[in-house]
């Protein structure tokens, strides 16, 4: 059988029917080691049938009907007519899955009228990610295989690959790192079981890190349930048999490098360092982590690459985009001031008692300060002394007022502890106050252009990292 050709098999079946689509015949095959299966399309009757376990020949769909191509870990892959299924949920309920990766799949829909493609990623584990998705236009739906997921498909749309990358869950386990894409609500312990880690391999307490929200969720892995966010991380601890090295500097009695048992908390480090000096500014304690810095550096590199590509397109279209702004944003970022985890790390705080130190963590305790700073699109970005709280309007005035390119509605505050108060309509109403150690950030507007909608989120990543680094620098050099 393995030496037979596709044409021979079809002849054995008495040939093709007149409405058969012989230009797209779908072959389902096992890999050579029989650990995975996949599909290929062919029209070549000389194709050998080695490792082929299924051949699907579909009829031509009427040209006035949209087509849905289903591929990957399903029993009956191939083309489906849109009028059979009005939404994604109906189609999913009708499919039979074969060793499917359940935490992420994708739908690419082509809108021929608008000449655009819409990308939807969803999870079979979370019905809310697909229950309201309509099937309109020619579509492709792909379900990854558990044994051979190949998440970065070469034939997938570049937008699809980017979305999958954004929701790639990173799992840190000692010196090892695992990456699997996850969308929607999920149970981390199920993902760990899939990887092959059992409960004896790691400690019950884990940290789920959401860098976009600057949030860390601490909890027991057996009961933890979270909603996936972009660039999220699960931090696991191995059993307490290894040593970590951390640094604590600044207004501390015994600054320097300390060796602690894995599983130690920030409170443990404070005790070893002999307490604080009188001028310690607790609200401004800076906690930096190498893994966070690494992600931020990757984001900077990725954003710069995307900007370069977009600028090439813009120049080709003669669009007017301020290229100098982008190079300034990236060049102003001091790598030493990246990697901050925001939060209240005051001695005795809940976070100081709960957060688990990682190897290479660095803590800096600044001096008491009465400095408030304003950076970005103001006439005179500056730092000034203030013994009391100030309103946003007061700080803007001390910075000489807005520049013409100031994005006033996106103004935000970086508090001394690294937390961010996002701008809203009421940030100038008097409810938002700045205190010593805080920094007011006034971003720059992006020139309107055909690709401004694409450029804006990329430049926001760079500008936010640059301003955060500047705020850290202000505290360290107070």
pLDDT tens-place string over residues 69-103: 899 899 888 888 777 888 999 999 999 999 999 99
Q: Do domains 167-236 and 290-476 have the same CATH topology?
A: yes
Phi, psi (deg, nearest 5) at residue 334: -85, 120
Burial of 259 (0-12, 13-18, 19+ CB in 10 A): exposed
Domain residues of the chain, as ranges? 6-150, 167-236, 290-476
Identify each DSSP E strand in 156-254 by its residue range.
168-173, 176-181, 185-186, 205-210, 215-220, 226-227, 233-236, 243-250
What 3-state class would DSSP assign to 98?
coil
Instruction: Pick the most confident of 77-91, 265-279, 302-316.
Output: 265-279
Examine the pLDDT at 25 and tell me if it is beyond 60.
yes
Pick the CATH number of 167-236 from 1.10.3470, 3.10.560, 3.40.50, 3.30.300: 3.10.560
Q: Where are the beta strands (DSSP E) in 36-112?
A: 37-42, 52-59, 67-72, 78-81, 100-111
Q: What is the mean pLDDT of residues 317-321?
A: 56
Tens digits of per-residue pLDDT, 141-194? Answer: 999 988 877 776 666 778 888 899 999 999 998 778 999 999 999 999 999 999
Instruction: Quote the strand ranges of 123-174, DSSP E.
Output: 138-145, 168-173
Q: What pLDDT does residue 329 have?
A: 47
Give residue 229's pLDDT: 93
pLDDT of res. 324: 45
- State residue 311's pLDDT score: 66
Three-state DSSP at 15 gives coil
Query: Residue 34's pLDDT band (boundaries 50, 70, 90)?
Result: low
290-476, which class in CATH? Answer: alpha beta
* pTM > 0.85: no
| pLDDT for residue 140 is more than 70 | yes
Strand order of the β-sheet with 286-288 is: 256-261, 243-250, 362-365, 286-288
Average pLDDT over residues 66-71: 84
| pLDDT tens by residue, 427-451 | 555 568 889 989 888 888 766 554 5
pLDDT digits (tens, 9 = 90+) for 166-181: 999 999 987 789 999 9
């Amino acid at each position: 059988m393995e030496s037979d050709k596709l044409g021979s098999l079809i002849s054995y079946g008495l040939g093709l029917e007149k409405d058969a689509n012989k230009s797209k015949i779908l072959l389902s095959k096992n890999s050579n080691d029989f650990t995975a299966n996949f599909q290929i399309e062919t029209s070549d009757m000389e194709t050998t049938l080695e490792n082929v376990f299924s051949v699907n020949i579909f009829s031509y769909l009427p040209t006035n009907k949209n087509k849905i191509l289903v591929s990957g870990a399903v029993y009956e892959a191939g083309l489906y007519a849109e009028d059979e299924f009005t939404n994604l949920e109906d189609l999913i309920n009708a499919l039979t899955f074969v060793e499917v990766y359940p935490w992420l799949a994708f739908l690419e829909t082509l809108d021929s009228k608008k000449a655009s493609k819409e990308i939807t990623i969803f999870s079979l584990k979370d019905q809310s990610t697909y229950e309201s998705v309509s099937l309109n236009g020619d579509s492709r739906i792909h379900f990854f295989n558990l044994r051979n997921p190949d998440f970065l498909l070469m034939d997938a749309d570049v937008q699809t690959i980017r979305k999958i990358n954004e929701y790639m869950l990173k799992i840190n386990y000692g010196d090892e790192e695992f990456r699997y894409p996850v969308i929607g609500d999920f149970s981390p312990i199920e993902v760990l079981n899939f990887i092959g880690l059992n409960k004896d391999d790691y400690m019950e307490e884990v940290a789920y890190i959401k860098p976009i929200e600057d949030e860390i969720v601490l909890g027991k892995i057996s009961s933890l349930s979270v909603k996936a966010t972009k660039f999220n991380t699960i931090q696991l601890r191995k059993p307490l048999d290894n040593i970590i090295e951390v640094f604590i500097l600044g207004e501390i009695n015994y600054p320097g490098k300390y060796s602690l048992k894995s599983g130690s908390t920030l409170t443990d480090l404070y005790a070893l360092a002999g307490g604080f000096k009188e001028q310690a500014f607790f609200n401004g304690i800076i906690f930096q982590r190498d893994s966070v810095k690494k992600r931020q550096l990757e984001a900077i590199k990725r954003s710069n690459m995307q900007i370069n590509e977009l600028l090439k397109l813009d120049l080709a279209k003669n669009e007017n985009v301020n290229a100098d702004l982008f190079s300034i944003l990236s060049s102003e970022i001091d790598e030493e001031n990246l990697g901050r985890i925001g939060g209240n790390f005051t001695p005795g705080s809940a976070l100081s008692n709960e957060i688990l130190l990682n190897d290479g963590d660095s803590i800096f305790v600044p001096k008491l300060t009465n400095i408030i700073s304003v950076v970005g699109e103001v006439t005179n970005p500056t730092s000034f002394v203030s013994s009391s709280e100030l309103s946003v309007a007061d700080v803007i005035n001390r910075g000489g007022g807005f520049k013409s390119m100031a994005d006033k509605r996106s103004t935000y505050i970086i508090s001394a502890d690294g937390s961010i108060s996002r701008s809203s309509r009421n940030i100038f109403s008097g409810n938002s106050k700045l205190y010593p150690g805080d920094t007011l950030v006034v971003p720059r507007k992006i020139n309107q252009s055909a690709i401004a909608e694409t450029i804006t989120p990329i430049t926001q990543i760079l500008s936010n990292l640059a301003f955060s680094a500047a705020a850290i620098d202000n505290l360290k050099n107070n």
